[in-house]
């Protein structure tokens, strides 16, 4: 199911040249903010939750997920070079699975690791907040990568639709319509974080069972359907 | 192409067998429309393209959808204000764009790369400069087109609010003043966002990547700034809030309109800049717009060859 060559090509496509810069800039900004906030306010649990929940998990993880998830396959389909990959004797689901692993790994490295570091800077893992948000970022990475990888195979405007989901659905509708929060990867990840942190600082609108079931279901279904889409991929010209 | 021979060419001297046949190419002797016309055409084509007019059905979907999403809340607010016979609109004219900033960011992120990235990626930029336009004309036309498209996007809901307010027989002078202030504010916002979007799109020939980069700059900077402002507010460090607001486009516009256009700040604690800081805000906004224009000129000096 895992092909090292495809993985190597995907890594190079994701982290080659300027992409690595923008992917690296966001985590760097998070750590800078963490240092500034720690310098301004000292260690404070509520502040740590605000920064990690409001900035890291709500903004940074989805955007890195969009870049890594759609970037793993989108550009190849866009410029047509995916036919060279598809013409090799590899199963299409294998290609998708390999790209998914790479996208998950990249998202995790660029989102969970800086979240951990920022959490440690902010309050030295008091009340296990840093660990809780790191686990949430790890869990969210998997689901976001799978979802956005699927978008990359479905649409040529995957980046826009991914951002619409992440910014409009999760942020805007999530804050206005309570029901929208049940269908939000961010809330599912928070449910897991709530379990890890234990206290009342990290809260979620979704119960842990629902969250786990939905997380697994979304990841598996998105990956399966992406494999199916790749089996019947038609290449269209530039609009 | 073929060398033109005058029709009444003298007969070749006898003995010389070479001869150029006149195969009937004709010189263009119609009117030459010149540089200003080419610039206007580029502007109008880019403006139409920003809403998908004259392009495929698929590329109309997103800009039109975002336009509708921008206008629908305004229509709902007007309907509520009329139905409840309210004394005032539920939201200020200047506040509307700040509330809908996510939609505006998505619009500029999707349309800025559409406007410039494809020319760069398919290396068609030199073809533009084979016409009688200069680098500055191309940059000005593209910048003006995107800024106009953004102005249409941001001013249309204000117009809906204004017409609704007049229909609901709210105070005419008061509403007109608010509407005018709102228009100035969204005009500045359009110029600023279009400039930032175009600069980023012009250095990323890949469309998908350009979209992500523009969104990242707009949203991440706002996320970072509002997080820091919230923390400064919680620490009662209100003096720092306006200075932090200088670091993201949305809070910049918010600060300018708070200082000079009678808006209430959307920053935590509603702490906006005073007149002194307001001048700094205006200078930063104008500086950013000028810098965007300068960077675009520099970029196209290089790729236009």
User: Are A160 and B109 a contacting pair at CB < 8 A?
Assistant: yes
- The answer to whether B196 and B292 are in contact (CB under 8 A) is yes
| Cα(B105)–Cα(B98) distance, integer angstroms | 11
User: Are A163 and B232 a contacting pair at CB < 8 A?
Assistant: no
Radius of gyration of chain A (CA): 18
As given in the structure block, the two tokens for residue A109 are 């490295």
Q: Collapse the DSSP code of A168 into the 3-class scheme (helix H, G, I; strand E, B; otherwise coil) and give the result.
A: helix
Using a pLDDT cut of 90, give the percent of chain B over it: 38
- ipTM of predicted complex: 0.74
Cβ neighbours of A55 in B, within 8 Å = 223-224, 227
- pLDDT bin (cut points 50, 70, 90) of residue B271 is confident
pLDDT digits (tens, 9 = 90+) for B164-195: 988 888 888 989 999 999 999 999 999 999 99
The answer to whether residue A236 is domain-embedded is no
The answer to whether residue A181 is domain-embedded is yes
**For position B1, what pLDDT does the model report?**
46
User: Are A78 and B103 a contacting pair at CB < 8 A?
Assistant: no
State the maximum Cα–Cα separation within chain A, in Å, rounded to a whole number: 58
| Cα(B3)–Cα(B158) distance, integer angstroms | 59
pLDDT digits (tens, 9 = 90+) for B35-93: 999 999 999 999 999 999 988 888 888 899 999 999 999 999 888 888 888 778 888 89
pLDDT digits (tens, 9 = 90+) for A63-113: 899 889 988 888 888 878 888 888 889 888 899 999 999 999 999 999 999
The residue in chain B having the minimum alpha-carbon distance to the alpha carbon of residue A157 is B208
Q: A12: domain range?
A: 4-231
The answer to whether residue A238 is domain-embedded is no
As given in the structure block, the two tokens for residue B198 are 């175009």
State the maximum Cα–Cα separation within chain B, in Å, rounded to a whole number: 102
- The answer to whether A100 and A146 are in contact (CB under 8 A) is yes
Establish, for the pair of chains A and B, how many residue pairs have beta carbons separated by less than 8 Å. 96
Residue A199 has pLDDT above 90, yes or no: no
User: Are A63 and B216 a contacting pair at CB < 8 A?
Assistant: yes
Chain A nearest C-alpha distance from B293 (Å): 23
Q: Collapse the DSSP code of B20 into the 3-class scheme (helix H, G, I; strand E, B; otherwise coil) and give the result.
A: coil
Radius of gyration of chain B (CA): 26
CA B300 distance to own-chain centroid: 18
* CA neighbor of A151 nearest in space, from A57, A62, A34, A51: A62
Total domains present in chain A: 1
As given in the structure block, the two tokens for residue A36 are 């500034």
């Amino acid at each position: 199911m895992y092909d090292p060559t495809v993985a190597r090509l995907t890594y190079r496509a994701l982290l080659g040249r300027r992409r690595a810069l923008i992917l690296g800039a966001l985590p760097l900004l998070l750590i800078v903010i963490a240092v500034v906030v720690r310098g301004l306010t000292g260690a404070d649990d509520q502040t740590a939750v605000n920064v990690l929940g409001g900035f890291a998990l709500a903004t940074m993880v989805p955007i890195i997920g969009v870049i890594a998830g759609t970037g793993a396959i989108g550009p190849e389909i866009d410029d047509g070079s995916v036919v060279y990959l598809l013409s090799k004797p590899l199963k299409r689901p294998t290609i998708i699975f390999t790209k998914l692993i790479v996208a998950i790994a990249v998202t995790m490295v660029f989102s969970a690791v800086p979240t951990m570091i920022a959490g440690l800077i902010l309050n030295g893992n008091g009340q296990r907040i840093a660990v809780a948000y790191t686990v949430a970022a790890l869990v969210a990475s998997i689901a976001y990568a799978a979802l956005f990888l699927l978008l990359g195979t479905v649409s040529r405007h995957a980046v826009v639709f991914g951002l619409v989901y992440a910014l409009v659905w999760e942020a805007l509708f999530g804050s206005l319509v309570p029901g929208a929060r049940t269908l939000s990867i961010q809330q599912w990840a928070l449910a897991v974080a709530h379990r890890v942190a234990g206290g009342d600082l990290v809260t979620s609108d979704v119960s842990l069972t629902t969250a786990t079931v939905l997380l697994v279901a979304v990841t598996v279904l998105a990956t399966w359907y992406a494999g199916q889409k790749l089996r019947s991929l038609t290449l269209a010209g530039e609009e | 192409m073929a060398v033109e021979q005058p029709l009444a060419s003298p007969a070749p001297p006898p003995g010389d067998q070479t001869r150029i046949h006149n195969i009937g190419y004709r010189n263009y002797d119609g009117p030459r429309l010149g540089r200003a016309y080419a610039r206007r055409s580029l502007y109008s084509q880019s403006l139409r393209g920003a809403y998908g007019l004259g392009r495929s059905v698929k590329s109309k979907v997103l800009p039109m959808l975002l336009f509708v999403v921008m206008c629908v809340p305004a229509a709902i607010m007007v309907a509520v204000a009329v139905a409840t016979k309210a004394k005032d609109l539920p939201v200020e004219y200047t506040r509307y764009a700040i509330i809908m900033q996510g939609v505006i960011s998505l619009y500029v992120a999707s349309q800025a790369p559409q406007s410039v990235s494809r020319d760069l990626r398919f290396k068609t930029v030199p073809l533009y400069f084979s016409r009688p336009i200069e680098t500055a004309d191309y940059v000005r036309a593209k910048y003006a087109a995107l800024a106009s498209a953004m102005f249409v996007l941001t001013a249309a809901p204000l117009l809906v609010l204004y017409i609704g307010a007049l229909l609901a027989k709210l105070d005419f002078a008061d509403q007109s003043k608010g509407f005018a202030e709102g228009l100035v504010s969204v005009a500045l916002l359009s110029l600023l966002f279009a400039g930032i979007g175009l600069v980023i799109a012009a250095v990323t020939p890949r469309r998908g990547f350009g979209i992500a980069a523009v969104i990242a700059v707009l949203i991440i900077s706002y996320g970072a700034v509002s997080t820091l402002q919230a923390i400064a507010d919680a620490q009662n460090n209100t003096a720092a809030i306006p200075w932090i607001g200088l670091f993201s486009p949305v809070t910049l516009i918010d600060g300018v309109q708070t200082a000079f256009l009678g808006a209430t700040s959307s920053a935590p604690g509603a702490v906006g800049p005073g007149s002194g800081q307001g001048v700094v805000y205006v200078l930063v906004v104008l500086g950013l717009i000028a810098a965007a224009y300068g960077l675009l000129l520099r970029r196209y000096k290089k790729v236009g060859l």
